[in-house]
């Protein structure tokens, strides 16, 4: 299922190969990082955009769930502690917070109305779908989270992101692709057979896949670095939960206190 042609992986992937070769499948099944690796690699062998998206989003799902579990392990390294890793939207919000150092959550009633505004996003992406334009859009969006304002030409797509009160990069990487995830993976939605069935939608999905592919290509090797998880990341997710998921933050504080009390007694 992995093609024999060039996979166009960044150099950092070389550090993952020894671990893949050394670990038995049973051990890799226990580590979501390898789910991200193999789902991402499978996407390289897919001929159709809809199949590529399925693998790429599965890899993204494994990535943000692994990050959520890293946060939870800080409260109980040896036991299963579930705070928010099983909640997709919450885990995505935590990842968005880590990527862009900011996150804003809309009320459910406002969000329902915003789904209809995705037409403007699709209209823009369809009108700017050449390889050069897609690559430039990624660069502009990525640079925007580092303080470089997008040129005026990008005002229409920036406006789409602003409606959701999220940075342009996380909008195109997580918020908008999540709509495709809901369209394809929810049992009460139109089947995949009737999704991305014309050139218009396929062109839009191609851009979505470009964003997912490029980000995961660079990000997946990082999570295998022993120094990836830091107190700064822990604090950032604390801040996210405290602001947008107060009930889960309260639960996290309770779990932390229980863990510290048990550690002190054992010490």
**Residue-level pLDDT, tens digit, the chain, 267 residues:** 556 566 788 888 988 888 877 888 888 888 999 999 999 999 999 988 999 999 999 999 999 999 999 988 877 665 556 778 888 888 999 999 999 876 565 555 466 667 667 889 999 999 999 999 999 999 999 999 998 999 999 999 999 998 888 899 999 999 999 988 887 876 555 555 556 667 888 899 999 999 999 999 999 999 999 999 999 999 999 888 888 888 888 887 887 777 667 665 665
Give yes or no for a contact between 69 and 63, defined as CB atoms under 8 angstroms apart. no
- Alpha-carbon distance of 60 to 212, in angstroms, equals 8
Instruction: Single out the residue of 217, 219, 237, 212 nearest to residue 69, CA to CA.
Output: 237
- pLDDT score, position 242: 87
- pLDDT score, position 227: 93
Cβ-based neighbour number of residue 152 at 10 Å: 7
The 3-state secondary structure of the chain, one letter per residue: CCCCCCCCCCHHHHHCHHHHHHCCHHHHCCCHHHHHHHHHHHHCCCCCHHHHHHHHHHHHHHHHHHHHHHHHHCCCCCCCCCCCCCCHHHHHHHHHHHHHCCCCCCCHHHHHHHHCCHHHHHHHHHHCCCHHHHHHHHHHHHHHCCCCCCCHHHHHHHHHHHHCCCCHHHHHHHHHHHHHHHHHHCCCCCCHHHCCCCHHHHHHHHHHHHHHHHHHHHHHHHHHCCCCCCHHHHHHHHHHHHHHCHHHHHHHHHHHHHHHHHHHHHC
- pLDDT score, position 83: 77
- Alpha-carbon distance of 241 to 251, in angstroms, equals 10
Predicted TM-score (pTM) of this structure: 0.88
- pLDDT score, position 111: 60
């Amino acid at each position: 299922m992995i093609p024999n042609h060039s996979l166009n992986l960044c150099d950092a992937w070389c550090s993952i190969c020894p671990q893949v070769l050394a670990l038995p499948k049973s051990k890799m099944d226990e580590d979501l990082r390898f789910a991200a690796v193999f789902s991402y690699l499978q996407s390289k062998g897919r001929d159709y955009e809809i199949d590529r998206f399925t693998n790429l989003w599965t890899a993204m799902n494994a990535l943000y769930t692994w990050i959520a579990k890293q946060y939870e392990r800080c409260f109980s390294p040896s036991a299963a502690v579930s705070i928010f890793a099983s909640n997709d939207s919450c885990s995505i919000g935590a990842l968005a917070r880590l990527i862009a150092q900011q996150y804003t959550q809309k009320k459910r009633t406002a969000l329902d109305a915003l789904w209809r505004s995705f037409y403007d996003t699709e209209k823009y992406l369809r009108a700017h779908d050449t390889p050069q334009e897609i690559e430039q859009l990624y660069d502009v969006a990525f640079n925007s989270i580092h303080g470089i304002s997008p040129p005026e030409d990008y005002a229409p797509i920036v406006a789409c992101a602003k409606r959701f009160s999220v940075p342009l990069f996380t909008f195109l990487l997580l918020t908008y692709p999540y709509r495709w995830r809901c369209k394809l993976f929810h049992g009460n939605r139109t089947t995949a057979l009737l999704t991305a069935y014309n050139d218009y939608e396929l062109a839009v999905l191609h851009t979505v896949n470009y964003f997912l592919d490029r980000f995961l290509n660079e990000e997946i090797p990082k999570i295998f670095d022993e120094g990836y998880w830091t107190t700064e990341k822990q604090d950032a997710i604390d801040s996210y939960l405290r602001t947008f998921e107060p009930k889960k933050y309260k639960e996290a504080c309770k779990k932390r206190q229980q863990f510290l009390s048990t550690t002190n007694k054992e010490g």
